[in-house]
Amino acid sequence: MSDLGLISEQHAELLNGEIYVKGMQGGRHAYTIVTLNEKMIALYQARASVAAQVPLILLAPPPDFVEPDIMLRNLPSSQYANRNANSEDSILVIEVSDSTLERDQTDKLKAYARNGIPEYWILNLHSNQLEVYREPSGEEYLFIRKYKAGQAVAALEFPDLLLEWW
């Protein structure tokens, strides 16, 4: 959208035909993204491309263009030098959620499931829980589990690599 001049100097997402301009992040939200990104890189860098707040194109109708907070993508990273990732590239998508919690748990969840994203995590800053969604089917995920701070979780693709989140 920014490449076409529709939105200038702003982060925006197209979700279900609606444009959402992303506002400025609060301190806790930003800190969580940075910390989680550092942990993900340390844990997964040899097995996946870790990307923070980069575009993800979802082509299942209606097409959606989102910027998840963290995404694990297929290697090699160089394949994204001239194109954005799409759902086939995605291993895991994570949203750090405070003011967008409702949209992340409904519209984004449906879009990610509809596009076959194998695993979607919501780091819910309100309840301080990690919501893990797996097994996409239509517009829902069949497996849902919540983790509390201090518990470890592994990405479905890498069951031997445990991430303990705070």
Give the pLDDT score at 10.
Answer: 55
Percent of the chain with pLDDT over 90: 75
Cα torsion 65, 43, 79, 10: sign? positive
Give the pLDDT score at 23.
Answer: 67
Q: Which two tokens mark 105?
A: 């748990």
Cα–Cα distance for residue pair 11/44, rounded to 1 Å: 26
Give the pLDDT score at 1.
Answer: 44
Neighbouring residues of 61: CB distance < 8 A, sequence distance ≥ 6: none
Boundaries of every domain in the chain: 27-164
Architecture of domain 27-164: Alpha-Beta Complex (3.90)
Give the pLDDT score at 20.
Answer: 67
pLDDT in tens, 102-121: 999 999 999 999 999 999 99
Residue 16 has pLDDT above 50, yes or no: yes
Which residue reads 């992340």 in tokens? 104
pLDDT in tens, 55-102: 999 988 888 899 999 999 999 999 999 999 999 999 999 999 998 899
